[in-house]
Amino acid sequence: MPADSAPSARTQVRRLPQRGAYDRATLDAILDAAFICHVGFVADGHPVVIPTGYGRRGDHLYIHGSAASHMLHSLQAGIELCLTVTLLDGLVLARSVFHHSVNYRSVVVFGRATVVEEASAKLRALEAITDHILAGRWAAARPPSPRELKATLVLELPLAEASAKIRTGPPSDEPEDYALPVWAGVVPAALTFGEPLADPKLTPGIAMPAHVRGRS
């Protein structure tokens, strides 16, 4: 989606439209910073929302799983889906309970996913997913065997219909409430990683690689 593309009827932010963003730089930054997406679709006549990992390469998102996965089996038929990601940046504490909120960055993507069939394209998609979890991990670990690759289904979703919504800053109270003796402000929130813990079965002498050490 080019930076100057107008939002579609589905991606247009209507509630607090000033928080909407549609340029690819903003979308990509949020997608690249998050780790989990939620995929919503209708299967067997009822709504389903599944959390899963993902990766981005250029203008496409990739999700993967077992070829027997109910979600992937449903989506590979080309049904409509809605994929979302959200980053929590802070708790917004207002003087009134009505105006409590959160600071966040989110993306909503609509579309239809297609199966990545060709082996080299499938491997590139899996590399994008793996390195999204931890940059440099694909090159450091064993690649999928032919049997594992066959057992894995990869779906590609274009970023052709997407939008972001972002809230930043302090609470917005009613004018008459600013004089209330109530503490108000923002409690920042961020995802952090702790010290890596080696697998108890790790072969002695294997040093922690830089791409793992750098994440903590």
* pLDDT tens-digit series, residues 114-172: 999 999 999 999 999 999 999 999 999 999 999 999 999 999 999 999 999 999 999 99
Q: What are the boundaries of each domain within the chain?
A: 17-173+185-213
| Alpha helix positions (H), the chain | 24-33, 70-75, 119-133, 137-140, 146-150, 210-213
**Shortest CA distance to 161 belongs to which of 90, 86, 61?**
61
What is the tens place of the pLDDT at every residue in 17-54? 888 788 999 999 999 999 999 999 998 899 999 999 99
**Shortest CA distance to 101 belongs to which of 117, 89, 118, 86?**
89
| Alpha helix positions (H), 35-86 | 70-75
Other CB atoms within 10 Å distance of the CB of residue 166: 18
Instruction: Give the pLDDT band (50/70/90) at residue 1.
Output: very low
What CATH number should be reported for the domain whose range is 17-173+185-213? 2.30.110.10
Q: Which two tokens stand for residue 122?
A: 């499938």
pTM across the whole model: 0.90
